[in-house]
Structure 1
Amino acid sequence: MRALGALRRFPLTASVLLVLIGTAVLTGTTGADPALRREIGAAVRGPVSGWLTSAAWCADTSSLVVAVLATVVLLGPAERRLGSRPALGALAAGQVLGTAIGLAVVGALAAAGDTWAREISGIVVLGPFAGVLAAAGLATARSPALWRRRVRLLLTLTLTALVLYSGTTGDVVRLCGWLLGLGAGLLLGPVQEVTAPHPSRREGRALVAIVLTVTALGPLLAALSRTPDGPWAVVSHLFVSAPPDHALLHAVCGPGGDRADCRVLEARARLTGHGPALLSVLPVVLQLVLAEGLRRGRRAAWGGAVLLSSALSVVGALVVLTVVATPAEELPMLGVRPGSLPAASVVAPLVAPLAVLVLLVVTRSRFDVRARPGSGRRWLLAAGLGITVVAVAYVSAGSMVSGALVRPPSAGALLLDLPSRMLPPGYLGEIVPRLVSLHGSARLLADWTGVAMWTVLLATAIFVVRPAPPTGDAVRARALVDRHGEGPLSFMTTWVGNRYWFADDGAAVVAYRVVGGVALTTGDPVGPPAARRAAVLRFTDWCEEHGWTPCWYAVTDEVADALVGTGARRLQVAAETWLPLAGLSFTGRRWQDVRTALNRARREGVEARWTSWSEAPLALREQLARLSEEWLADKGLPEMGFTLGGLDELADDAVRCLVAVGRDGEVLGLTSWLPARRAGRPVGWTLDVMRRARTAPPGVVEFLIATALLTFQEEGAEFTSLSGAPLALPPGSGDGSGLTRLLTAAGRLMEPVYGFRSLLAFKAKFQPRYRPLWLVYPGTADLPRIAQAVSRAYLPDLSLPQAARLTEALVRGHRRPVRSPEQPAPVRA
């Protein structure tokens, strides 16, 4: 029954699978027969009919398996998003046009004299890949923003890498089909508005990890390919060294041959077996481990990736210099194609790792999750000890089997030979170990020493890649927050990125960040009431002693009053929406919208579920992550930080999440709540993250907030804070000064983009009390620096292109009506 249901839902996908498998079974071939390939395949000088008929056959059994998987994974979702008939049109057009364009590109390059294109111009292309990829590319335009970006990046990088490294005509055709589908999607327009790509910090980490993964696997896959012909295929020789031709070896090493060239070929002839094979793979495994660390935001993984990319760039530069300095007639000795290498091949070993290095440097601020203090020292100790053990074993064993080496070595010679054992085999045949092993135990030692050293590095990398539990100042600050963190922003003291100042007696703590010489606090000091006022004055003096401008940001009247008489000035920057829970009930006309939201959720079967990030099932966490990333991607704006939380802040077990789930299990909305504690007991909760799915019915966010208020009331909490909205003040707030008017104008300017004023109006549905949040600063002359510091704190990753797109969004936003507060954009509090 399920199979019949799938056939009805995906008739095109089922038909393509039937054609592929049926053709292979009925004809008894997968296209391996040369005569059949020429008849039905697509080639540069082949029949035009082959552009379409080539889709029904595959080159071999492995290609058939890949084609079936691609049809299920790519064409199935495309058919679901586009519909069967549009998907059929995209499949057919993509197969014909993608194949025609790819063959035309290869033919044009071959006619222009390109060596690579001439070599592949005779290849016959089989398989439905161009059409399937074109349909998938078109379907991404109708995909949610998160997956639209991920799929486009992953497939574009993968297909481009295949062209550069493997470089067959089929690779070119597949890339052309994919680009054709992407272009059609951009021209025809998606269902959702295409927005500027502003991934969140978490998503940005994942995208960088994808880039590192693809660039790590590309050369290895080319090396394992039977015929790597791409412009960058020369890089594969850094990983795998093909054994030299026996006739060439006999000619070079025979009478009259060159002894240096003979030594190179003999060394390459020995670079085979399980040990060298592992030595080819382990550096790639290290890059994959670092990519996973990057996905998790580890600063240590970023540092390791930078070091590795730098080393590969240096090696690549040496390769480029070697190739440039080598006469063309000697290049065959390096294991590459006869004749001069094209420019693209010459620079490939340098360009690929250098591009990754530049990307890592540009995105450095995204990787701020520190390792456990002392992890670097422990890793150096463990790795150094392990490598020392391997080195001692190598020298000892090498001395014992010296007779099996070409030249009996000394201990010093063995140590000098050790680094070359870590290089992947090949290296264009130029880097040959000083000591050439002949046979037996010496060969075994040479093959496995490098593997042992790489294994040590991988095994000890856990010290710097694994997550670090809070220690030191972070633990002290968390203890104070748990005992005395009753302020609306107190829990934000514990967030990553803060620095801590403690009172002399340790009774109070101030969380702050230094941005451009400005010490920017995260709310009020945390501590007993008697210690907070003294902490305000002492921290202010301490900042001035260190040459920083003290700036108390988003603080309550308590801090502002403590600085009266010191010459400090205050400016209201937000209004906290505060709700006492005693006697709260949703009765009366003013609560009509909230009651309507509760009743609608009940009718439509929407359920509110309490959870925490660590307790949530993996499937639920995936939905929450997708919801948050798609929301941010659809807004097309840089992610804001500082006092605005995101998914990273949900990982704390003290943070409670309330999720709206529909009848079908789909997540429709999310709110997260930060605890406010007094004497270790929660006395209040502050709203932080707020998300609403695009497909959610109206009133989902109101339903979640109302449910949370009732829950907290039942639990005996005293208050709930819906937090504040930056640059948005309720009517009648402020002192009417020029600065207040300037702040109001800034809020009005940012409204079409971030909707802070609409957010404040939305929170007014819950009849809150407004409590001012202040910016307290030394003097008017400091305001430009403070404004810049606050902007950088909220938008730490803002680049010049993003700033330009943000300005464009502001201008565009003022040309269209703003969404009403009754239907607010899902904005974080």
Structure 2
Amino acid sequence: MSGTVGTAARLLRRVPFTAGLLVVLVASAFVADRTRWGTGVHPLGEGRWWTLLTSGLVTSGPREAVVGVLLVAALMAPVEHRRGSRWTAGTWVAGQAAAGLLATLAAGILQDTSAWWGRFLVQAVVSGPLPGVLVVVGAATATATPLLRRRTRVVLGVVLVMQVLYSGTAGDLHRLAGWLLGLTGGVLAARWRARRTGVRPERGPVSRRESRALVALVVAAAAVGPLVAALSRTPEGPWAVVSHLFVSGRPGADLVRQICVDGDAATCRVLLERARLGGAGPALLSVLPVLLQLVLAEGLRRGRRAAWTGAVVFSGVLTLVGAVVVAVVLRHPDAAVVVLHTARAGLPAVALWSPVAAPGAVLVLLLATRHRFPVPAAPGSVRRWVTLAAAGLGVVVLVYVGAGVLLRSDWAQPPTVARLLADLPARMLPPGWLGEVLPQVAPLRGAARVLANWTGVLCWAVLVGTAWAVVRPAVPQGDAARARALVDRHGEGALSFMTTWTGNRWWFTADGRAVVAFRVVGGVALTTGDPIGPSDARAAAVPEFTAWCLARGWTPCWYSVTDEVARALPGGRRLQVASETWLPLGELAYTGKKWQDVRTAINRAARDGVEAVWLRWDEAPLALREQVARSSEEWLAGKGLPEMGFTLGGLDELADPAVRCLLSVGVDGRVHGITSWLPATRDGVRVGWTLDLMRRSPGCPPGTMEFLVGTAALTFQEEGCEFVSLSGAPLAFPDGDGDADALARLLEATGRLMEPVYGFRSLLSFKAKFQPRHRPLWLVHLDPADLPRIARAVSLAYLPHLSVGEAVRLGRALLAGRRRPPRPATPARTVPAGPTPSTEAAPLVEAGSR
């Protein structure tokens, strides 16, 4: 116990301002009158300007005090520890006052433009330290790592905007104002520092994995937003009316009396129907559609194409239905009371159009990011989902109709089978839609009311439960299964296993003995390495596939292939694009001076207690996988260049059970680095492994990558494998290797131009530590006139999502590299974009060799 207290005391001494603020907040919970400390339009109008600061020292109640203490400790303490107490204190004080002033001015403007929301904001008194805390956090993101900056800004930005749109309290507005002020101040300060020092802050690209997670976050937030407004005590945000379409509580007795005495008879009937709603059934009926959207969001996070399709359909339906609601309100203003729980008079346009704008914004985002979700659902999963969903819904319908007929005395009017079937769709609608769609039959009591309230819940439960079928990982089937079977038997090449990756298509010989993996990019059929199959079938597949492509109007391009393919294509022209490095096993031993770097790295790891851990990715503990994923994202964000694909694997490719991962783990459990290895198989027997993914954690010990690669090679040798392929270094060739024609010299010059950014030669130097043998990899084509198209296709294959901003940054990096003086011949920070596997691992060379 004393140790825990001592640790807490040491942590608090490191963040004295945060600790002091926490003490003040706890003490303020016992203050009797806290309203005079808060700020807002009325306090400032009365001349109490000091409330801009005192509002941050109190909270509105004990519950708010607990939440405030937790958020201050979680958000501001790390910033103070990194940026210092003086900067944190000054930023918080100035930010708290500025956020309060900005939000108050915004409330005054909104009062003039929206009597409905602005009046509510003007009357409120706000207290709490979070506006200033968000200023501190927003400003600090400008100097954070690209990954942390992007995640913090997106997560907090989405949460704060959704709170303002749906909940819309004055406190929400103050917090959003603080966040925007912090972001603006941080950006301006970063630009000022850049002009003064000439060093621009890193702007890392968004990886495929990260972008999927961010899109899924937005979809989930949009789904939960109406529930947030419904559960809020005072949902007054401009989009709060959307919540009434999903969650509809019982109308007040005064409203029912007023409408039924003086209003429309149809409206009275709707309100009476709503007055009968109650219990867990209608509540779940409001939640389950949201839960279905959350399931789809999880599928989006995994990159599933089926989940993207489902989310687009769901958002499209909501947008269409929202348009119908808006049209009804515009045509019949009195309907706003029933549909939106608000009178049409005084309803601003931003609220009136929110049923369309809310789902429409999500729909636009999904359509704009459609290329980020290429992972197919498990073959047959759609058919399986339809079967399970139809069977489940069929059972529910039979129970509803059968029980409804048997309980005919419990309904307001005797139901028939036809009437019950017509009534069923209305039972699936959330209670808020009762204003537009009235049930065909009304339950009076007992079992009939239970049946009416829970049938829709069961229908949605069936849809949500079976929706998991579309977010599961795909399993090989059809062409993919045939290709995988050939790879598992004859995939002995360095790129063979990559033919199983998502994005490839497969062509089989007539006898099915060989397969060619390819993808069509801009009319170019780009292969993924050599054909897979027995040697005689591989040789026959080369001219057959080439003729097949020509017959379809595609330009065939054999990419990253060996001499075997170059010899098998009559009339083909070859161009060396890389040099594969591979180690023969059987007598490998790290003895002698030439192995000094590798031997030193292994000995250092043993001395420091660093352990090499083999595992399959799906079997790894969640905490360990999160470490690796976070390190990978930080590495990618820090390099400032877009993530590549095609023959460069990422974290998504680790999920295959045939892939092995080797991790370097310190004595404290921290992951220093990771390598992944793809199997090479001959006649069904593992004969070798190919290095694919390499990632290191920031601040890892020197020699980490030498330790991992060296340990892996010894392990494979003990298992009886014949070779280890370290993949290739694109546009970098050993001395005396490569062609001597003009085009080859042009490629060599291109490699020199890109060396400061991608470090191809440094990568080759790193691999030379393992004394590998070299084998040329070729680009084989038929006509030199096709080379411009082929070059464009290769670029798009590796960078399919290259944005204009990323292209500009890449160009700036290349130009800066040309101006930079030559560096010593030591392994440099490399970010290659080459044609062979594992070249994306080159950035790790820096950490492992310096």
Matches within 5 A, 1:373-772: 373-427=379-433, 429-563=435-569, 566-587=570-591, 589-602=593-606, 604-772=608-776
- Shift, 1:278, TM fit: 0.7
1:205-354 pair list within 5 angstroms? 205-254=212-261, 257-327=263-333, 331=337, 334-336=340-342, 339-354=345-360
Structure 2: how far apart are the matches of 1:819 and 1:458? 58
Alpha-carbon separation, structure 2, partners of 1:635 and 1:610: 27
SS at match of 1:536: helix
Q: Indicate yes or no: 2:45 matched with 1:39.
A: no
Letter paired with 1:789: A
* Partner in structure 1 of residue 102 of structure 2: 101
Q: Is the 8 A contact 1:10 1:80 kept in 2?
A: no
Partner of 2:73: 72
Partner SS for 2:729: coil
Q: Distance in 2 between matches of 1:650 and 1:386?
A: 35
The aligned counterpart of 2:62 is: 61
Which whole-Å deviations, capped at 9, do the CAs of 1:487-538 have from their partners, x for residues lacking one? Answer: 1111212222222223333332222222233222111112222322122222
Corresponding residue of 2:130: 129
Is 2:366 aligned against 1:360? yes
1:201 is matched with which residue?
208
Q: Is the 8 A contact 2:339 2:432 kept in 1?
A: no
Counterpart of 1:775 in structure 2 is 779
Cα distance, 1:664 vs. partner? 3.0
Give a deviation string over 1:160-188, Cα, whole Å, max 9, x none: 10011111110011112222333333344
Note the C-alpha offset of 1:338. Answer: 6.5
**Kept in 1: contact 2:40–2:104 (CA 8 A):** yes
Question: What SS does structure 2 have at the residue aligned with 1:488?
Answer: coil
Aligned to 2:163: 162
Residues 524 and 557, structure 2, Cα contact 8 Å, conserved in 1: yes
Q: Distance in 1 between matches of 2:634 and 2:497?
A: 27
AA partner of residue 541 (structure 1): A
Give the equivalent residue in structure 2 for 1:82. 83
Q: 1:820 to 1:696 in 2, by over 3 A?
A: farther
Kept in 1: contact 2:22–2:69 (CA 8 A): yes
Q: Is the 8 A contact 1:313 1:350 kept in 2?
A: yes
* Structure 1 range deviating more: 473-482 or 747-756: 747-756
Distance in 2 of aligned mates of 1:92 and 1:483: 68
The RMSD of aligned alpha carbons is: 2.7
Query: 2:131 is matched by which residue type in structure 1?
Result: A
SS across alignment from 1:553: strand
Match of 2:842 in 1: none
Rounded Cα–Cα distance in structure 2 between residues aligned with 1:295 and 1:406: 47
Q: How far does the alpha carbon of each residue in 1:226-248 deviate from its partner, in whole angstroms, 9 at most, with x for none?
A: 11111111111111223223233
Please give the alpha-carbon distance, in whole angstroms, between the structure 2 residues aligned to 1:311 and 1:818.
59
Cα pair 2:527 2:559 within 8 Å, conserved: yes
Cα distance in 2, alignment partners of residues 517 and 479 from structure 1: 28
Partner deviation per Cα, 1:396-453 (whole Å, 9 max, x = no partner): 3334445554554543333232222212111383333344444444332322221111
Aligned position for 2:10: 8
Contact kept in structure 1, 2:580 and 2:726, CA below 8 Å = yes
Structure 1 residue 691: Cα displacement? 1.7
Q: TM-score, normalised by structure 1?
A: 0.92
Conserved in 1, the CA contact under 8 Å of 2:516 and 2:527? Answer: yes
- Where 1:723 maps in the other structure, the secondary structure is strand
Q: Is the 8 A contact 1:606 1:663 kept in 2?
A: yes
Out of 63-72 and 584-593, give the one that drifted further: 584-593
Q: 1:717 to 1:629 in 2, by over 3 A?
A: same
Partner Cα separation in structure 1 for residue 822 and residue 321 of structure 2: 55
Asked if the contact 1:244–1:268 (Cα under 8 Å) also holds between the matched residues in 2, the reply is yes
Tell me, what secondary structure is at the counterpart of 2:431?
coil
Q: Could you tell me which amino acid in structure 2 is paired with residue 720 of structure 1? A: V
Work out which of the residue numbers 814, 820, 826 in structure 2 matches 1:822. 826
CA distance in structure 2 between the partners assigned to 1:148 and 1:238 by the alignment: 36
Q: Do the aligned partners of 2:328 and 2:335 also contact (CA within 8 Å) in 1? A: no
Uncovered stretches (5+) of structure 1, i.e. residues with no partner: 30-35
Q: How many Å separate the matches in 1 of 2:817 and 2:332?
A: 59
What code does the residue aligned with 2:466 have? T
Distance between the aligned counterparts of 2:339 and 2:512, measured in 1? 70
Distance in 2 (CA, whole Å) between partners of 1:470 and 1:379 is 18
Contact 1:241 1:429 in 2 (8 A): no
Per the alignment, do residues 351 and 194 of structure 1 end up closer, same or farther by CA in structure 2, a change over 3 Å counting? farther
For the residue of structure 2 that corresponds to 1:48, the secondary structure is coil
- 326-335 or 422-431, which deviates more: 326-335
Instruction: Work out the number of aligned pairs and report it.
Output: 818
Inter-partner Cα distance in structure 2 for 1:812 and 1:429 = 64
Distance (whole Å) between structure 1 residues aligned to residue 314 and residue 335 of structure 2: 33
Q: How much does 1:584 deviate?
A: 3.9
Distance across 2 between alignment mates of 1:84 and 1:384: 61
Partner of 1:22: 27
TM normalised by structure 2 equals 0.90
Residues 415 and 800 of structure 1: CA distance in aligned 2, closer, same or farther (over 3 Å): farther
Between the aligned partners of 1:237 and 1:228, the Cα distance in structure 2 is: 10
Deviations along 1:453-473, one digit per CA (max 9) or x if unpaired, are 101111222322222322233
Distance of 2:607 and 2:86 partners within structure 1: 36
CA distance in 2, matches of 1:112, 1:305: 35
> What's the CA shift string for 1:606-661, capped at 9, x where partnerless?
44333332343222211111111111111232211111111112222332222223
Of stretches 775-784 and 106-115 in structure 1, the one that deviates more from structure 2 is 106-115
Structure 2 Cα separation of the partners of residues 18 and 669 of structure 1: 41
Instruction: Assess if the C-alpha contact under 8 Å between 1:554 and 1:773 holds in 2.
Output: yes
> For each residue in 1:718-761, what CA deviation from the matched residue of structure 2 results, as whole angstroms up to 9, or x when unmatched?
32221113333344443233432443344345444433343233
Q: Tell me which residue corresponds to 1:32.
A: none
Is the CA contact 1:625–1:647 (under 8 Å) kept in the aligned structure 2?
A: yes
1:614 match: secondary structure: helix
Q: 1:739 to 1:88 in 2, by over 3 A?
A: same
**Structure 2: 5+ residue runs without aligned partners?**
832-837, 840-850
User: Matched residues in 2 for 1:794 and 1:134: separation?
Assistant: 39
Q: Percent same amino acid among aligned pairs?
A: 59
Q: In structure 2, how many angstroms separate the alpha carbons of the residues matched to 1:203 and 1:333?
A: 38
Please state how far the C-alpha of 1:153 moved relative to its aligned partner: 0.7
In structure 2, relative to structure 1, the CA distance for the partners of 1:5 and 1:705 (3 Å cut) is same
How much has 1:79 moved relative to structure 2? 3.0
Which residue number corresponds to residue 33 of structure 1? none
Check conservation: 2:516, 2:532, Cα contact below 8 A: yes
Query: What is the DSSP-based 3-state SS (H/G/I as helix, E as strand, rest coil) of the residue aligned with 1:229?
Result: coil
1:443 partner letter: R
Contact kept? 1:79, 1:87, Cα under 8 Å: yes
Structure 2: which amino acid aligns with 1:450? G
Contact 1:698 1:823 in 2 (8 A): no
Q: Closer, same or farther in 2 for the Cα pair 1:429/1:599, shift >3 Å? A: same
Q: Structure 1 pair 793/103, CA: closer, same or farther in 2 (3 Å)?
A: same
